[in-house]
Structure 1
Amino acid sequence: MTEVRFFHNAPDKLSAACRLTAAAYRHGRKVTVFAPEAGQATRFDALLWTFQPLAFVPHVMSTSPLAAETPVLIDTHLEDPQHLDVLINLGNDAPPAFERFTQVIEIVTSDPADRAPARARWAFYRERGLEPEANDLSARERS
């Protein structure tokens, strides 16, 4: 069964996604980052190269010839995901075929425009018999 984890109160969605992606990679997980909005995948790719100057998170777009051997993929459609371990959703809707993944990570900022679709995704997962886990990123920032 898929595990769903929400990380709320993120100051910035893409920066939080970078930190969560790097943490999953350090723990040996394969990660697919779903970035369905125009330009979002490109911005995330660039940020992943620069967010930690001394860290390296190997990643490529899911259409790259190196996708099968790269631990972090950035995918804009999720039509045929290659890694079915961790899925980080950057979209406003529940990702397609989310149940194929071991874990789904949802990131929510404090912006009301981001919170409303997040609540709908929380309800969507609950309606499918899943129990999402809530994680407050602002509490992590204070400690």
Structure 2
Amino acid sequence: MPQVSFHFNAPDKLEYACRFIRKAMRHDARVTVVAPMERLRQLSARLWKFAGHEFLAHAVQGEDAEIFTLAPVVLVESAAASTHQEVLLNLGGEMPQGFEAFAKVVEVVSSFDEQDRAQARVRWRAYQEAGHAIERFDLVLKEG
């Protein structure tokens, strides 16, 4: 059963995802990011230029299959499309199908988007009903 955590109050979900991915890569973790394709493309663009002196290697679903297989970070619309099963970072509004295959699931929730917060409450209840213990991280308190 995966460890599930919610990271609340992200002022910018994509910026937070970049920082999270950089930290995970420093610990040699393989990360799968799930979101709608438009958001994945926005994230990919940010990962290319996130830290000028660092390269956050990643691949987007539908691109070169060999690179996709080798990349430590994959950006997918469905968790089932990933060959990684270590960390699942959800930037979408729905509970990712196939999340159970991962060791860790991280849900990122915006501090400004009420619809995103409402969707997160639905996901929280669904994880609880499925028997998952949930860790809560308030990013405002962490940074303050």
> TM tier, shorter chain?
over 0.9
Do structure 1's residue 59 and structure 2's residue 58 form an aligned pair? yes
Aligned length: 141
State the secondary structure of the residue aligned to 2:88.
strand
Amino acid at match of 1:20: F
CA distance in 2: counterparts of 1:141 and 1:49, whole angstroms: 25
State the secondary structure of the residue aligned to 1:44.
helix
When normalised by structure 2's length, the TM-score is 0.92
The equivalences for 1:2-17 within 5 A come to 2-17=2-17
CA distance in 2: counterparts of 1:136 and 1:55, whole angstroms: 27
Amino acid at match of 1:100: A
Amino acid at match of 1:39: E
The equivalences for 1:17-56 within 5 A come to 17-36=17-36, 38-56=37-55
The equivalences for 1:1-143 within 5 A come to 1-36=1-36, 38-63=37-62, 64-65=64-65, 66-110=67-111, 111-142=113-144
> Identity of counterpart residues, as a percentage?
40
What CA deviation, in whole Å up to 9, does each residue of 1:82-106 have, x standing for no partner? 1010000011110010000010110
Amino acid at match of 2:21: T
- In structure 2, the gaps of 5 or more residues are none
Amino acid at match of 2:136: A
What CA deviation, in whole Å up to 9, does each residue of 1:41-100 have, x standing for no partner? 110100111122222211011333211211000112333321010000011110010000
- In structure 1, the gaps of 5 or more residues are none
How large is the Cα RMSD of the aligned pairs? 1.2
State the secondary structure of the residue aligned to 1:25.
helix
Say which structure is richer in helix.
2
